[in-house]
């Protein structure tokens, strides 16, 4: 059994939590202390067993007024799947125009999460046209 | 030279300027002009592609560009006049501005002005890092601009000086794009950014954070080859024997933001040393009648939601001022930062209306209270579990609680 | 590329360029070899920018003679080249009686050198020139001025180029042979140039050039001087230069403050013999010392007033043990006919440059016929100063005529796109970031390029087709970027 310290990020109180963890293939959280409200222990469990994150990145766009469109996950994904998701994001090439909230990759890396555009990219005439 | 007259001119079309413009128009000011030097609105939000913006304003975790677009859409629906690609080169006490763009150089007479120019980053030169000046040294924001807006990668092996949020955000960004971030060094004994970012930008990727440590030498004649770091002890001096060399080709600096108040010097607007921003009253008016200030140019914020709140109020006050509804009082009640408080804003209040104090503590602490007092008399007290210089604290104060206070102090107890 | 010259100058610093410009009046095939990617990358750009009056030099020396002559030529030269110069004058201040004796000696020495207008001032008269200056008496030298040292160096090169001189950059001279008619000069990248007359103006490396010809009697001892640059908006304005009397109370570096002609204030320089003549690093010890002495001279300085530090390296001929100064070496070698050798041109090399050029011209005339060209373009096509220094009406006219003047790229110094484009399209063909910086004055303000560098990069990319690997700071391997993100 090991103890791990975490700072909860749900609200500005930033409670310093201490979690007791049963190690093994599937780590289990047996106890959490230091929380001022009852959201803390659930967050700590999730954070230790399977931390979830949202990420933002960029996708190449041809003929746009920006060279890349900024994108993000529209739902949290597990920390360990981040680099798989990045791999798919890096492979995409789009053509302008792109609109905010356009789905760039649906169900990225097989996860229940889409990669969506976060800015508008207008089409501009490139020098080659 | 072309001369224009406008009732309200807002300088800077980032989050502060956008919210102020919308609020001023919605408060009945029809003659609003928003001037922005970039070719698009949004300010620094355009390059902040990470999320975390808008939790308070919209109940969603948006990215910078999305947050900006919400306000841009409102601005467009209100048909507010904008001048893009236009820079204000000078301003005087009578609110005469000289502006320049590709379309021409003009003179603008403004009934009122809102300063919302944002801030710039502190540089390597300003903090006098010894050593050579090779290529590969960037402020974190400049690197963010290259990476997020221009599709240019700045380097492969990165050291970051300064644990501010922008430094940590860039640590994650560069890692996700395949660069190796060796470490983040912070001269203070505590991180200056949010704990969420320490976890999600550094710990998640195994990037070490070294506190009480700084870069004391830069190496490389052409491109950066490495830095020397050392622990920093008394009087900000390196502790002998703790020096070590870190190989890298890129040094990112996240060592502070400075409100961009160069325009404010023209009319001799009174600036505060502690904030590098204007001294304002409870309508956010500066020491010059009719010139207001809000957003990062007034004081550096950590949450854009607060910027929008503050700027919305300023837009409303500016519109009221133009209608003649704001009386500049004969005397003000001064508000001073006391023990444990780095700064508090507004620095003076009229006593005519309720107000919200914005402040930062000078050191991290836990289980304390922020006290607003008039001598021994308590005006407002807010208990807090966690207080940190990185997180602005806002305390609403009702003016009927002031009694006959002539001055107030805000302190930590 | 042409490789045969009548006159070949090694070193495109202020001295080499002044010589090239002077010689370009004549029908000569002139070449200038420069090892860096731009002119003036050595000592010429890295100094206080002071035009010295000539009071400090021993009468009869070249330093004395050439400084006073160069000083008198500088104003007309700057008018032709469109370079900012300002003869603001200097107070050399005495704090006690022994200082006063020093000043009297300096005045005599200056007068013997032909320095005009020298006057001893009492305390009241001093403070009329510079309010709140300390001291009991001062020597006033009205012919002391300030100039933009890299501006002059670049302008000389551009004007020489307009008059047919060929500047060949990135040429590191590796060997020199005599071949009967003159010299064959080979460079590290495999080029060979022939010339009838060879001029060594290689500054910090002039002793290396000497050795290539078997001349072993000279040695350069690099001596670094560090400076701090202060923000333009400091309310304390120095109207004139103020120096303490030489030898006055020894502690510290004898730091003084210098106005630059662009409105910044320099603190420095320091004095430190170093081993590596290419080591421009700033050091913590000297920076701290400069700040400490800067605070004494300007109480109330804050961290946000410091823009950056820089350093220059003096090509001294005296060793650390000897100290002091040796006179300029400017000689037409009898043992190596056709070789004109300049060694150890440290201060007052900048001021002396126009006079050195005339002296070297006379030496060239001993070897080659000098026939004046029918057309010599004396005036450089350029503007003195920046757009930001014009009146609003002048600005409005320029913008109406050319929208590129309306687009401000460098916000801190208010440098416009037109000025950036002019800098990029410079006659030297230099395309480095520092080349743009020194020509346009971009990236020199308080944000140090934080705002404007991304915009300059965008201009170079969109309008000149630059890719990320094309951006270099100053030397070939000083790449700014590591490719694309996508």
| Chain C residues whose beta carbon lies within 8 Å of the beta carbon of residue B177 | 485
The CA-atom distances, in angstroms, between C330 and each of B139, B164, C206, C215, C326 are 46, 56, 12, 14, 12
Q: From the CB of residue B189, how many other CB atoms can be counted at a distance below 10 Å?
A: 11
Q: C336-353, pLDDT tens digit by residue? A: 999 999 999 999 999 999
From chain C, the residues in CB contact with A90 under 8 A are: 486
CATH topology of domain B1-120+259-328: FAD/NAD(P)-binding domain (3.50.50)
Tell me what percent of the residues of chain C surpass a pLDDT of 70.
Answer: 96
CB C152 within 8 A of CB C109: no
Best A34, A86, A118, A120 member to test B by mutation, with max B CBs in 10 Å, is A118
Find the closest chain B residue to A51 by CA distance: B204
* Residue A126 binned pLDDT confidence (cut-offs 50, 70, 90): low
The structure tokens listed for C282 are 């700033």
DSSP letter for C133, please: -
Residue A60 with chain B: CB contacts under 8 Å: 151
Phi, psi dihedrals of residue C170, rounded to the nearest 5° = 70, 30
Do B51 and A9 make contact, defined as CB atoms within 8 angstroms? Answer: no
Q: Where does CATH 3.50.50.60 sit in chain B?
A: 1-120+259-328, 123-255
Give the confidence band of C235 by pLDDT, cuts at 50, 70, 90: low
Q: What is the pLDDT of residue C248?
A: 64
Tallying the residues shown for chain B, one arrives at 413
What is residue C249's predicted lDDT score, i.e. its pLDDT?
A: 54
* Contact between chains at B385 and A82 (C-beta distance less than 8 A): no
Q: Is B217 exposed, middle or buried (0-12, 13-18, 19+ CB in 10 A)?
A: buried
Which pLDDT belongs to residue B20? 98
- pTM for this predicted structure: 0.95
State which fold the B123-255 domain adopts: FAD/NAD(P)-binding domain (3.50.50)
Q: Do B151 and A58 touch (CB under 8 A)?
A: yes
Q: Over 50: is that where the pLDDT of A123 sits? A: yes
**Is the Cβ of B196 closer than 8 Å to some Cβ of chain A?**
yes
Residue C273 to residues B121, C224, C227, C322, Cα–Cα distance (Å): 35, 6, 15, 12
CA distance to partner chain B, nearest, from residue C192 (Å): 26
Q: State yes or no: cis peptide before B346, omega within 30 of 0.
A: yes
A–B interface: beta-carbon pairs under 8 A: 66
Token reading at A34: 């230091």
Nearest CB partner across the interface for C458, out of B87, B120, B150: B150
Name the DSSP class of B205: G
Q: Which residue has the tokens 């930008």?
A: B201
At residue A13 the predicted structure's pLDDT band, cuts being 50, 70 and 90, is confident
pLDDT of residue C185 exceeding 80: yes
> Residues of C215-246 as b/e, b for ≥16 C-beta within 10 angstroms?
beebebbbbbbbbbbbbbebeeebebbbbbbe
CA-based nearest residue to B106, from B1, B31, B35: B1
B385 vs A120: CB contact, 8 Å cut-off? no
Judged against a pLDDT cut of 60, whether residue C114 lies above it is answered with yes
Minimal CA–CA distance to B45: which of B25, B69, B68? B68
Q: How many beta carbons lie within 10 A of that of residue C381, not counting itself?
A: 11
The CA distance from A89 to the nearest CA of chain C, in Å, is 10
Q: Comparing A5-14, B337-346, B373-382, C447-456, which segment has the lowest mean pLDDT?
A: A5-14
Q: Rounded to 5 degrees, what angle do the CA atoms B344, B350, B355 make? A: 55
How large is the C-alpha radius of gyration of chain C?
Answer: 23
Q: Rounded to whole angstroms, how far apart are CA atoms B161 and B139?
A: 9
Q: Which chains contact A through at least 3 pairs of Cβ atoms less than 8 Å apart?
A: B, C
Domain C86-143+221-274+281-313 grouped into CATH 3.30.9.10: yes
Catalytic residue among C52, C56, C208, C256: C52
| The domain defined by C1-85+144-219+317-383 carries CATH number 3.40.630.30 | no
Q: How many CA atoms lie within 13 A of C260 on its CB side?
A: 27
Give the whole-number percent of chain C exceeding pLDDT 90.
80
Per residue of chain B (413 residues), give pLDDT as tens: 889 999 999 999 999 999 999 999 999 999 999 999 999 999 999 999 999 999 999 999 999 999 999 999 999 999 999 999 999 999 999 999 999 999 999 999 999 999 999 999 999 888 999 999 999 999 999 999 999 999 999 999 999 999 999 999 999 999 999 999 999 999 999 999 888 889 899 999 999 999 999 999 999 999 999 999 999 998 889 999 999 999 999 999 999 999 999 999 999 999 999 999 999 999 999 999 999 999 999 999 999 999 999 999 999 999 999 999 999 999 999 999 999 999 999 999 999 999 999 999 999 999 999 999 999 999 999 999 889 999 999 999 999 998 888 999 999 99
pLDDT at position C251: 44
* Cβ–Cβ below 8 Å for B128 and C478: no
Residue C196: CB partners within 8 Å, gap ≥ 6? C5, C6, C7, C181, C182, C183, C338, C367, C368
Q: Is C248 a catalytic residue?
A: no
- Nearest-CA neighbor of C321 among C204, C223, C252, C248? C223
- Determine the Cα–Cα distance for residues C317 and C324; give it in Å rounded to an integer: 9
Question: What b/e string do you get for C263-290 counting C-beta neighbours within 10 Å, with b at 16 or more?
Answer: ebbbbbbbebebeebeebbbbeebbebb
């Amino acid at each position: 059994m090991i103890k791990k310290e975490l700072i909860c990020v749900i609200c500005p109180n930033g409670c310093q939590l201490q979690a007791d963890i049963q190690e093994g293939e599937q780590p289990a959280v047996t106890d959490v202390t230091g929380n001022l409200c009852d959201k803390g222990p659930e967050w700590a469990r999730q954070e230790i067993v399977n931390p979830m994150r949202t990420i933002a990145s960029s996708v190449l766009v041809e003929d746009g007024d920006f060279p890349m469109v900024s994108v993000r996950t529209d739902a949290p994904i597990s920390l360990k799947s981040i680099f798989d998701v990045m791999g798919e994001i890096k492979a995409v090439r789009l053509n302008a125009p792109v609109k905010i909230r356009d789905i760039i990759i649906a169900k990225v890396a097989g996860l229940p999460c889409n990669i969506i555009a976060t800015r508008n990219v207008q089409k501009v005439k490139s020098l080659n046209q | 030279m072309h001369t224009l007259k406008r009732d309200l001119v807002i300088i800077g079309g980032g989050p502060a300027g956008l919210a102020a413009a919308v609020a001023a128009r919605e408060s009945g000011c029809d003659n609003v002009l928003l001037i922005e030097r970039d070719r698009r609105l949004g300010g620094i939000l355009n390059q902040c592609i990470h999320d975390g913006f808008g939790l308070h304003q919209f109940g969603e975790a948006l990215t910078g560009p999305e947050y900006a677009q919400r306000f841009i859409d409102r601005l467009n629906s209100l048909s507010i006049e904008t001048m893009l690609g236009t820079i204000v080169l000078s301003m005087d006490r009578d609110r005469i501005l000289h502006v320049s763009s590709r379309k021409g150089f003009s003179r603008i007479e403004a009934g009122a002005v809102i300063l919302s120019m944002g801030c710039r980053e502190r540089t390597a030169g300003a903090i006098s890092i010894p050593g050579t000046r090779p290529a590969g040294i960037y402020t974190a924001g400049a690197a963010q601009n290259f990476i997020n807006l221009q599709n240019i990668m700045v380097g492969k092996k990165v050291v970051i000086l300064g644990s501010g949020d922008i430094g940590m955000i860039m640590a994650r960004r560069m890692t996700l794009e395949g660069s190796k971030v060796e470490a983040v060094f912070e001269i203070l004994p505590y991180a200056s950014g949010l704990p969420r970012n320490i976890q999600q930008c550094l710990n998640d990727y195994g990037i070490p954070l070294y506190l009480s440590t700084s870069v004391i030498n830069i190496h490389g004649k052409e491109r950066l080859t490495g830095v020397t770091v050392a622990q920093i002890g008394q009087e900000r001096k390196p502790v002998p024997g703790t020096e070590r060399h870190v190989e890298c080709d890129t040094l990112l600096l996240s060592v502070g933001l400075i409100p961009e108040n160069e325009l404010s010097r023209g009319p001799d607007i009174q600036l505060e040393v502690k904030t590098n921003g204007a001294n304002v009253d409870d309508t956010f008016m500066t020491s010059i009648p009719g010139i207001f200030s809000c957003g990062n140019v007034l004081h550096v914020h950590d949450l854009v939601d607060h910027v929008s709140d503050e700027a919305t109020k300023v837009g409303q006050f500016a519109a009221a001022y133009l209608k003649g509804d704001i009386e500049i009082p004969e005397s003000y009640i001064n508000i001073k930062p006391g023990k444990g408080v780095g700064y508090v804003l507004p620095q003076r209040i009229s006593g005519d209306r309720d107000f919200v104090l914005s402040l930062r503590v000078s050191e991290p602490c836990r289980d304390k209270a922020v006290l607003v007092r008039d001598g021994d008399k308590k005006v407002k007290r807010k208990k807090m579990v966690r207080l940190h210089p990185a997180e602005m604290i806002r305390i609403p104060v009702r003016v009927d609680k002031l009694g006959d206070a002539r001055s107030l102090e805000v302190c930590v107890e | 590329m042409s490789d045969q010259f009548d006159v070949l100058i090694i070193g495109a610093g202020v001295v080499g360029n002044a010589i090239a410009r002077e010689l370009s009046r004549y029908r000569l095939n002139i070449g200038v070899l420069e090892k860096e990617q731009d002119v003036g990358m050595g000592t010429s750009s890295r100094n206080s920018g002071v035009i010295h009056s000539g009071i400090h030099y021993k009468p009869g020396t070249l330093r004395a003679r050439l400084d006073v002559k160069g000083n008198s030529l500088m104003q007309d030269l700057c008018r032709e080249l469109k370079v900012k110069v300002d003869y603001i004058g200097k107070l050399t201040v005495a704090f006690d009686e022994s200082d006063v004796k020093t000043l009297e000696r300096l005045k005599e020495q200056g007068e013997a050198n032909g320095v005009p207008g020298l006057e001893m001032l009492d305390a009241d008269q001093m403070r009329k020139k510079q309010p709140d200056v300390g001291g009991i008496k001062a020597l006033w030298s009205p012919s002391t001025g300030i100039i933009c040292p890299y501006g002059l160096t670049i302008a000389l090169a551009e004007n020489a180029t307009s008059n047919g001189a060929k500047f060949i950059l990135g040429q590191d001279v590796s060997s020199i042979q005599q071949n009967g008619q003159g010299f064959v000069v080979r460079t590290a990248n495999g080029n060979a140039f022939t010339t009838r007359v060879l001029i060594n103006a290689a500054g910090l490396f002039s002793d290396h050039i000497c050795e290539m010809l078997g001349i072993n009697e000279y040695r350069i001892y690099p001596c670094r001087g560090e400076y701090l640059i202060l923000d333009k908006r400091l309310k304390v304005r120095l109207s004139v230069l103020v120096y303490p009397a030489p030898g006055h109370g020894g502690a510290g570096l004898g730091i003084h403050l210098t106005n630059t002609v662009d409105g910044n204030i320099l603190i420095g320089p320091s004095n430190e013999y170093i081993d590596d003549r290419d080591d421009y690093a700033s050091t913590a010890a000297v920076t701290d010392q400069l700040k400490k002495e800067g605070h004494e001279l300007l109480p109330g300085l804050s961290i946000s007033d410091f823009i950056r530090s820089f350093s220059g390296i003096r090509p001294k001929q005296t060793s650390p043990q000897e100290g002091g100064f040796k006179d300029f070496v400017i000689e037409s070698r009898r043992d190596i006919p056709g070789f004109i050798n300049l060694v150890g041109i440290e201060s007052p090399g900048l001021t002396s440059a126009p006079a050195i050029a005339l002296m070297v011209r006379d030496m060239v005339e001993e070897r080659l016929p000098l026939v004046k060209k029918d057309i010599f373009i004396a005036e450089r096509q350029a503007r003195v100063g920046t757009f930001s220094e014009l009146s609003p009406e002048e600005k409005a006219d320029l913008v109406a005529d050319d929208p590129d003047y309306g687009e401000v790229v460098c916000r801190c110094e208010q440098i416009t796109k037109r000025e950036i484009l002019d800098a990029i399209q410079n006659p030297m063909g230099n395309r480095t970031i520092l080349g743009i910086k020194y020509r346009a004055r971009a990236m020199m303000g308080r944000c140090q390029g934080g705002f404007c560098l991304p915009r300059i990069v965008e201009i170079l990319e969109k309008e000149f087709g630059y890719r990320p690997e094309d951006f270099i700071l100053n030397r070939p391997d000083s790449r700014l970027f590591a490719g694309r993100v996508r």
